[in-house]
Structure 1
Amino acid sequence: MQHTILVTARTLDAAGMALLEQEGCRTIFLSGAGDAAEVEAILGNEKVDAVISRTVDLSAGAIQSCASLKVVSKHGVGVSNIDVQACTSRGIPVFVTPGANAQSVAEMTLGLMLAAARSLAHMDGEIRAGRWTRLQNGLELKGRTLGLVGFGQVGRLVAKFCLALGMRVAAYDPHVKEDSASGEIEWLADLDSLLSRSDVLSLHVPLTSSTRSLIAAEQLGKLPSGAILVNTARGEVVDEDALIAALADGRLYAAGLDTTAEEPIAADSPLRRMSNVVLTPHVGGSTHAALAAMALGAARNVLGYLKHQTLDRDRVVNFNQLQPEVHGGTHVL
């Protein structure tokens, strides 16, 4: 039986495409505006069996418009662009691809940290503008404390990298047991305790109702003076107005941001004009290796469910909320 797969992007890495083609799937890509309206239009007019979701919103209306839809897989791990509740109400599992881009995101985190500590983007811009501006106020990271908010696969790799630099590492994650952390890491039971120690604060949490604006003015005020903030998670985890204020008045030394509250970042955002901010356009997981791994993982997710009704507890974000009858004919891992 031929399955129809909608990929909410214009391309999918060859590794994922090869698997879909091998199984005889018909694959639909975005070809128009590439927005949520196009996604909804396709789902409303095509008999789609599965969606591989990239960054475009997959709304409740789009999900409800497609009676044939059976499974959704995120191309990555963050599902804030997918209406998971709407999927759950129809018994549609929502898969993710954990770990597929962890190495790439961790490397981006380290890159942003170093760039922010040494003002690399600013000095590069000065040279390109014809000015020889030799800043001599860079921060050496050895001996400073990295505070990790979230200790999943990315956070663990960042900890490993920073320990190698000679940094101290502390972590806070209410969903991870202390005994699973490395003995070299200071494990803290609450966020406030972590903040007070963090010369560099790095965020590695999903966007949920409890993490939205998790780092606001009060939390930024608890960081040591001259701290650095690095965010490769989701922009909405940080109160952006509070961040701008802390950067402007010098309470924060710098910030390295792969994600912002609005993407693309607004043309009039003060962050774009700040010399102590390093910005990248949400590409932490966009290396060839990571894109291949995410595409292959997402393709395996949807095919495993369509062919064998396989549900993996570690990959289905709404596993516990699915209706009991959904589990009846499934292979649960």
Structure 2
Amino acid sequence: MPFTILVTATSLAPAGLRILEHAGCRVLFLRDGNSAAEVEGILAREPVDAVISRTVELSGAAIRSCPTLKVISKHGVGVPNIDVAAATAAGIPVYVTPGANAQSVAELTLGLMLAAARKLAWMDGELRAGRWTRAQDGLQLSGRRLGLVGFGQIGQRVASVARALGMQVHAFDPALRGPCPVEGVVLHASLEALLPQSDVLSLHIPLNAHTRGLLDAQRLALLPRGAIVVNTARGEVIDEPALIDALRSGALFAAGLDTMAVEPLPAGSALAALPNVVLTPHVGGSTPAALEGMATGAAHNVLGFLAGRHPDPLSCVNPQVLSQNERSIA
């Protein structure tokens, strides 16, 4: 029996789409790529077996409206747009695609770090405005200390390159088990121990109840004066008004941000007005290579589950449902 798959976007990378079509799936897309109401409408009227979720909200009402829905896979790793509690209550596993975009996000992290340290965006703007303004206070990263909050695949890749640049690398990750996976990295037992050792701080953590507002004014004050903050995780993990205050006062030298608390960035944003902030529009995982990796990973997740070949339980954010799910899916 062919399966019906809903992709909550207007498209999917060709490699992922080919996998679904080769399996004989009927693939549905959104007409409006940013409409939670359209997602709910499709699920309420179509016999959808699986959802590949992009950035559009997948609400509890949408999940409950579709009695045929059996599995959800995020096209990526962050699931704040998915009502995981509603999926769990319905016995529906929610998978992610860990590592698929790790290299692209790590590379953007390093790019933001270098751009913030050397004031690249500001100097580019000066030149385009006809001014030959040579900044004399850019920072050399070699010899400085990089602090990584979260030390999964992205953090580990950033650490390897940072060490090659001559940086001393420190990390904190309460989920890390066993020996340090990157030689020469100093692991810390708490965030409060890491922050004073971080001339550059880079965030690589999911957004959840424990991490929302994690980097608040009190913790920002623990960073060395003149530190740089880089965020390619989720904007909400930083207390944004506190970050802006620290950037304005000079407590922080600069910030490089791929994610903000409100996206798209609203008109008149205080962040956009600061000359010591480098901003990108949440594109860390948006290279063609990363999009193909996430699309193929999500396609394999849903097809594997629907065929009775359970994907890696470590990629399931609500694994408790796997032992409960006894429904026939063929």
**If the TM-score is normalised by the length of the shorter chain, which range does it land in?**
over 0.9
How far did 1:84 drift?
0.6
Partner of 1:5: 5
TM-score calculated relative to the size of structure 1: 0.96
> Number of residue pairs matched?
329
CA distance in 1, matches of 2:141, 2:265: 29
Partner of 1:296: 296
- Structure 2, unmatched stretches of 5+, are none
Partner of 2:158: 158
**SS across alignment from 1:9:** coil
CA distance in 1, matches of 2:255, 2:248: 11
Are the structure 2 counterparts of residues 276 and 240 from structure 1 closer, same or farther at C-alpha, using a change threshold of 3 Å? same
Letter in 2 for 1:119: K
1:100-139 to 2 correspondences below 5 Å: 100-139=100-139
Letter in 1 for 2:244: I
Partner of 1:70: 70
How far did 1:309 drift?
4.8
CA distance in 1, matches of 2:63, 2:273: 40
Question: Percent of pairs identical after alignment?
Answer: 61
How far did 1:57 drift?
0.8
Partner of 2:253: 253
Q: After TM superposition, where is structure 1 displaced by more than 3 Å over at least 4 residues in a row?
A: 327-330
CA distance in 1, matches of 2:176, 2:257: 25
Partner of 2:324: 325
Letter in 2 for 1:102: A
Q: What are the Cα deviations for residues 200-225 of structure 1, in whole angstroms up to 9, with x where unaligned?
A: 00000000100000000001000000
How far did 1:22 drift?
0.3
CA distance in 2, matches of 1:178, 1:168: 21
Contact residue 93 and residue 322 of structure 2 kept, 8 A: no
CA distance in 2, matches of 1:291, 1:166: 31
TM-score calculated relative to the size of structure 2: 0.97
How far did 1:45 drift?
1.5
Partner of 2:169: 169
Q: What are the Cα deviations for residues 276-303 of structure 1, in whole angstroms up to 9, with x where unaligned?
A: 0000010001111111010000000000
How far did 1:325 drift?
2.8
Q: What are the Cα deviations for residues 116-159 of structure 1, in whole angstroms up to 9, with x where unaligned?
A: 00110111111112222111110000000000000000000000
Are the structure 2 counterparts of residues 99 and 327 from structure 1 closer, same or farther at C-alpha, using a change threshold of 3 Å? farther
Contact residue 180 and residue 187 of structure 2 kept, 8 A: no
Partner of 1:240: 240
Partner of 2:221: 221
**SS across alignment from 1:229:** strand
Report the aligned-residue RMSD.
Answer: 1.4
